[in-house]
Amino acid sequence: MPRGAAPFDHRVLAGLRRTRTVDGNLLSAAELARRLGTSKARVLAYEAGTSVPEAARIAELARIFRVPARELYQEPARPEDSIRTLRLGAGLTMAELAARLGISVAAYRDLERAARLPARTDGTLPLRLARELSVQVREIDEALDRHPHASERRQKITQLLEELFARAHTTHTAAVIDMEDPQLLGVAHLLRRPPSVVCRLVNRELALLRQSLRVGAEARASLAYAQGEREAQRARHLITVQTQAVEEAPERAATTLVRFLAEAMSSRQWRALVHLVNRESPVPEPRARELADPEAWDGLVARNFVTRERVSGNGPLVYALSSWGLGRVMAQAPLYACLYPRAPAPDEQLALRHRLRPWARRSLTVRPELGAAPADA
């Protein structure tokens, strides 16, 4: 195979040169070669498919013809090539993209070839990757999800959880997993997280399964003693729902663990969000910087969990909880309690007040004491 960017589609280049005008004229092979700083023979070899340009040269071709670089690439034949094709479409090498993302080349190679995100991250890597590659973040998520290595890992985690979840069906016995359990250690290895963290998360999923079993058992008792057809119908429906929930529990738990840990905020980010919920008002920038470093806040703003705005024309900058951020905090609070057990928890009553008072998260109208140091500073 010719050296260069393998997915390059030479037929697209030939078609562009013959049909797309540049500065009002169609380009000859010689003129295109001049603009590229190469020879006419090399351009003709590109078009014939006997030579393949490097990613940077493909990016230059795209600039000349004013088309997205991805148009010059073939669609990836294999799911595992999706991220690589997007990178090549942006005209970047592994080293260049890794530097822009602030991770090592080895970590990026693991992401591209095995769909494995770095274990220590603040959850913004897919977002930053999408920005550097000029694509939607959902394209990154889909490429990672359908990667064969990612699918294989989820399947292995599901199989291990099936063995662990079998304990939930034993009556009159507490369903709790020990941190030294071989299956749990296998799950922790696949997730690349400490066994203590994975143990807490798995025991939470096990408790949810036990609850489904209990509700199903109560529904069967209700069906056995139903006083009418309507009551029996409700009981049968509940039995069906809970039976399905029990059957799907291992796969659902595997998906939850993989996605949550891949997107999890750092401890400082989580504490900052909880502080915003429990405070009920935006946080001035000086106080915000005490809670978390600027990079952590930038990550929260990038994910739309927090807004960074100025109170008035020359007023202080404040960080306020967004509606989306509030929803994520409350939906994932039980999971973060397992991930960061020593961190404070969001107050549900205060979260409800946020929902009932849109100004608390959207408006720049703030309380008079906002500019002063907070009482708990």
pLDDT tops 50 at residue 376 = no
User: Long-range CB contacts (< 8 A, 24+ apart) of 342-347?
Assistant: 343/267, 343/270, 343/271, 343/274, 344/271, 344/274, 344/275, 344/278, 345/274, 346/273, 346/274, 346/277, 346/278, 347/277, 347/278
Sign, CA torsion 353/355/360/365: negative
Positive or negative CA dihedral for 204, 207, 209, 211? negative
Task: Residue 205: name the closest of 242, 164, 151, 265 by CA.
Answer: 164
Dihedral of the alpha carbons of 102, 106, 110, 113, in degrees to the nearest 10: 110
Phi, psi of 320 (to 5 degrees): -125, 150
What is the topology classification, in CATH, of domain 1-74?
434 Repressor (Amino-terminal Domain) (1.10.260)
The helix/strand/coil state of 46 is helix
pLDDT per position as a tens digit, 309-363:
887 767 788 898 888 888 889 999 999 999 999 999 998 888 777 665 544 444 3
Task: Give the pLDDT confidence of 9-56 residue by residue, as tens digits.
Answer: 888 888 888 888 888 888 898 988 888 888 989 889 888 888 888 877
Neighbours of 257 (CB within 10 A): 23
Using an 8 Å Cβ cutoff, are 39 and 51 in contact? no
CATH architecture of the domain with residue range 267-371: Orthogonal Bundle (1.10)
pLDDT band of residue 245 (cuts 50, 70, 90) is very high
Confidence label for 290 from pLDDT (cuts 50, 70 and 90): confident
Q: Which of 79, 248, 246 is nearest to 158 (CA)?
A: 248
DSSP structure class, residue 319: E
Candidates 107, 87, 106; CA nearest to 97 is 87
Place of tokens 């030294």: 180
Q: How far is CA 94 from the centre of its chain?
A: 20
Q: What share of the chain has pLDDT > 70, as a percent?
A: 90
- Domain ranges for the chain: 1-74, 149-263, 267-371
Q: At 259, list the tokens.
A: 């996605």
Q: Which of 43-57, 189-203, 285-299, 313-327 has the highest mean pLDDT?
A: 189-203
H-state helical runs in 115-178: 125-133, 137-145, 148-165
